[in-house]
Structure 1
């Protein structure tokens, strides 16, 4: 879906995912980074150009490139999807980062910006996040955000190799957002910048 949403803070800048981000993504995404995704690993710049175009064409998906706010380096990508403002809900996902950014401030920074936008700009009452249960790194990252586990959907995912997987669902509700926000800001070293 074409959009102009840009979010900036905590050293990252989220901008509309575009073809010019394909080379940066192709440079670091490998099997380890792509683990838990339900589509085949894009290969090379051409593969990433096609992946970017598909993300941009997906109805209801607001695909974002994650850039270093200072250098413009592509750190990864993330998306809003399943947005329904009438009901007040959205999901956050399709998230991956270069391994050098794992375990640092990139994910909490992005999630703070996205959750703040969902709750404070769109007026959402629920933001959901999910991950393949086999992807323990992603499940742990979502847990550390302060999202509440809701359960597991069994045999919910189909991996590119044909295996079936379970999906762990989490959410943050509007009345939980202040505590989640404060936890994210504490991880990021203080006040919103």
Structure 2
């Protein structure tokens, strides 16, 4: 496989390849903020977490790698994220399916998760590009992606049918390999670290 399923560890988080053992922790994490109630987000309700995790694990056959996000300060599972639509031939992957418990929003958790995931793709796997997609109306997600340094590539109108029957316009962003050094410097700066860290 082009991207290996392995633990990624930083100062604040450990990204653990997703397993059934993470279901209780993820069900607890999603209760903090009730993100599944957001009409523009595809976040599972606590009672659907087992099926969500099973589907993520099944997608590993196509090269997807899903992670449970563990906060090192509390040793609790606080969310999930994944590589998906991994395209080894073109050295591209999408990064998404990311959600967190409310308690860790606006903390270093997401910044470090993205640093670990992007660093792995660009420096260990020699990726050409990484793509992000989100709902047009998910303004918090769009702002977070833009804060990373990703550039908007465009909008796919009426791209997906949502679980409530509405049509999603999908905003596409990317970071290409030539941009990674500046993006990395930006993420390290947000975490209070120098380039040599």
Same fold (TM over 0.5): yes
CA distance in 1, matches of 2:147, 2:160: 23
CA shift, 1:20, in A, is 1.6
Q: Is the 8 A contact 2:29 2:77 kept in 1?
A: no
Q: Which residue pairs with 2:115 in the alignment?
A: 112
Structure 2 residue 85 is matched with structure 1 residue 61: no
CA offsets, 1:51-94, max 9 Å, x none? 11110001221000000124320010000011112211010000
CA shift, 1:32, in A, is 4.6
Structure 2 residue 88 is matched with structure 1 residue 85: yes
From 85, 101, 104, the equivalent of 2:104 is 101
Structure 2 residue 9 is matched with structure 1 residue 8: yes
Q: Which residue pairs with 1:29 in the alignment?
A: 30
CA distance in 1, matches of 2:169, 2:79: 24
Moved over 4 A (4+): none
Q: Which residue pairs with 1:177 in the alignment?
A: 180
- RMSD over aligned CA atoms reads 1.9
Aligned to 1:37, the other structure's residue is in SS state coil
Q: Which runs of 5+ in 1 are unaligned?
A: none
Structure 2 residue 89 is matched with structure 1 residue 72: no
Structure with bigger helix share is 2
Structure 2 residue 162 is matched with structure 1 residue 153: no
When the two structures are superposed, what TM-score results if normalisation uses the length of structure 2? 0.89
